[in-house]
Structure 1
Amino acid sequence: MAISSLPQLDRFFLTDAGLETDILFNKGIDLPLFSSVTLFTSDEGVDVLEAYYRGFLDLARAKGTGLILESATWRAGPDWAEPLGFTLAELDGLNGAAIELLRGLRAEYADVPVVVSGCIGPRGDGYDPGKIMSADEAQAYHAHQAGVLAAAGVDMLAAITMTNVPEAVGVTNAAKALGLPVAISFTVETDGRLPTGEGLGDAIAAVDAATGNYPAYYMVNCAHPTHFDAVLDDGAAWTARIGGVRANASCLSHAELDVMTELDIGDPADLAARHRSLIDRFPQIKVLGGCCGTDLRHVTAIAEACIK
């Protein structure tokens, strides 16, 4: 699918919520190393995922929007095979199964405009940038999973919880080499800056400069709106590149969330109102979903507040 033909560029598309936190905390199902792709190792796990996605498909149908089906492959890159107990070939197979599920659901919900997105997470942790690769190293690493997802038939790729610029550039270039559209979603701390300390605007400008403005759009995820709404500069060119938000339910910092043993679901109504304020300021934001701590309740509240 060409970048210019992505339907979420000019109309509202919902996406899902905090898949891993929903499955782990709300449904009580263990996810080794927080990897939802492990659910594809059993029929029961696939049933859980299918039911999860159906909730968002039904919501999109009810609200008359499209839906981006994001694959359960956030923590399914090559480095995770051995820690999860898989060979690389086995992990590749699970990546393919994740896309097969989404394509099947799209065929079933033919009346709902659906974009199948292959989700790529950071090589390391989504909160801590750890050892930062060069852009070339990042491209070489992420090209493997990107290629598997492309072969499985995705419409686009989405790099979720990017913590640093070189890795975001690497994923972008991997997508570019495959001719696939890509959305780059940065995570920010409570001060609105990347975990590396860079400003969000500086990070977006740097990725655009390094890749010829290749990302179809940027997103912010895994942070509460109170963490980043003040740094969004009305009228700035970089802000106009932000096309989606997948916020956390909680106002807590990443460090605080990392040690919690219970889920903080925040205030869905307040979260929805903050999204309404964001899209009033930035009408180019068309992709709305959730991240850690959110579930169908939060995305429903956001849809009801923002989509009239």
Structure 2
Amino acid sequence: MTTSALPQLDGRIFLSEAGLETDLVFHHDIDLPEFASFPLLESPSGRATLHDYFQAVIGIARRDGTGVVLETPTWRANPDWGQRLGYDDAGLDEVNRDAVAFLAALRFENPDVPFVISGNLGPRGDGYVVDDAMSAERAADYHAAQIWSFVRAGVDLVTALTLNYTAEAIGIVRAAREADVAAVISFTVETDGALPSGQRLGDAIDEVDRATDRGAAYFMVNCAHPTHFASVLAASGPWNRVRGVRANASCKSHQELDDATELDRGNEVELAEEYADLARLLPNLAVAGGCCGTDLAHLDAISRTLASAHIGATSDGELR
């Protein structure tokens, strides 16, 4: 699907899911080795859990008259993380294709809700720490197999979540272009609003756009609390390119979250109000969801708040 054909860019704010993995671990007591949810697709009970979760997200979107951009549960389904979990290249190809088919079946069950299937790419390494950084060329080669698995299964676009340096993002956009599929790049930031690499968010977006001739469909921010980056968005920057937010529930830093033994849910009402503030700073906001610590209650509050405030972008990027 080309960028111009993506229905989430038609003026409504579509929903994505909340923090799937933390929800499964802390609210469903499901063990996720290496924080990977894709192995759940291999059992009837796991598939039922994922089905119910995604169906609940769809239900919220239906109530509030919008659509969904749902990510395949494949954030860890790349070669490095897959190898740790016992998956070879053929096994990863199978699970990535199956993840797209799983969401396609959900779309068939819900024909009344605009439904975009996104193939979810995670970082090669730790999303919070820049370790063993790749060149853009190496990143394109590394992520190409997963992108092609998604494309051959009929995905609408691919989204790379929790990226922390630009070369990996550039490589993903280039690999997606080779596969003729739209790509979304989502950076994570630290409490100062800069990427874990130390680069400022606006500079990172500009660098990726220059290196790819604006090849990304749009950019997002995920796995950070709104208070970590709202002040950045309030200053000048390429924020017309930021069309999605999936924030954490907690104000804690990445290191504090890594060290935590209990879930910090924050406050869903306050988080929803912060999303409304972010929407006023982002003229083209198109996708809203959650990340670590958020659950369906957070997503419900975010959707209600945005819908009741009639916040959304028109086709020319002006807020309604």
TM-score (norm 1): 0.98
| Percent pairwise identity | 50
Does structure 2 retain, via aligned residues, the 8 Å contact 1:224–1:247? Answer: yes
1:219 Cα deviation from its structure 2 partner? 0.3
1:249 matched to 2:249? The reply is yes
| Residues matched between the structures, number | 307
Q: Is the CA contact (8 Å cut-off) linking 1:165 and 1:207 kept in structure 2?
A: yes
Unaligned runs of 5+ residues in structure 2 are 309-320
Indicate conservation of the 8 Å contact 1:71/1:117, yes or no: yes
Are 1:156 and 1:182, in contact at CA under 8 Å, matched by a contact in 2? yes
Query: Is the Cα contact below 8 Å between 1:161 and 1:187 reproduced in 2?
Result: yes
What's the counterpart of residue 240 of structure 2? 240
Gaps of 5+ in 1: none
Matches of 1:211 and 1:9, distance apart in 2: 21
> 2:191 is paired with a residue of what secondary structure?
coil
Distance 1:245 1:81 in 2: 27
Secondary structure of 1:245's aligned partner: strand
Q: Deviations over 1:107-146 (max 9, x none)?
A: 1100000000000000011111211100000000000111
Per-residue deviation, 1:234: 4.8
C-alpha distance in structure 2 between counterparts of 1:172 and 1:202, whole Å:
17
Deviation, structure 1 residue 166: 0.1
Q: Quickly say closer, same or farther: Cα 1:200–1:235, change in 2 above 3 A.
A: closer
Paired residues of 2:165 and 2:195 also in contact (CA < 8 A) = yes
Query: Could you say which residue in structure 1 is the equivalent of 2:123?
Result: 122
- Aligned partner of residue 284 in structure 1, secondary structure: coil
Aligned structure 1 segments of 4 or more residues deviating by more than 4 angstroms:
none
- In 1, the alpha carbon distance for the partners of 2:218 and 2:279 equals 15
Secondary structure in 2 matching 1:251:
coil
Q: Conserved in 2, the CA contact under 8 Å of 1:13 and 1:287?
A: yes
CA contact (8 A) 1:233 1:239 kept: no
Q: Deviation of residue 73 (structure 1)?
A: 0.4
Match of 1:292 in 2: 292
Distance in 1 of aligned mates of 2:258 and 2:245 = 21
3-state SS of the aligned residue for 2:260? coil
The 1-side partners of 2:96 and 2:143 are apart by 13
Alignment of 1:143-222 (within 5 A): 143-222=144-223
Measure the CA separation in 1 of the matches of 2:181 and 2:284.
21
Give the letter aligned to residue 166 of structure 1: A
Partner secondary structure for residue 104 of structure 1 = helix
- Give the whole-Å Cα distance in 2 for the aligned partners of 1:111 and 1:270: 31
- 1:194-220 CA deviation, whole Å, 9 max, x = no partner? 000000000000000000001111000
Q: Partners of 1:266 and 1:150 in 2: how far apart?
A: 37
* Corresponding residue for residue 40 of structure 1: 41
Match of 2:106 in 1: 105
TM-superposed CA distance for 1:8, in Å, is 1.1
With over 3 angstroms needed to count, the CA separation of the structure-2 counterparts of 1:293 and 1:199, relative to structure 1, is same
- SS of residue matched to 2:61: helix
Return the offset for 1:278.
1.2
**Residue type matched to 1:154 in 2?**
V
Which AA in structure 1 matches 2:149? V
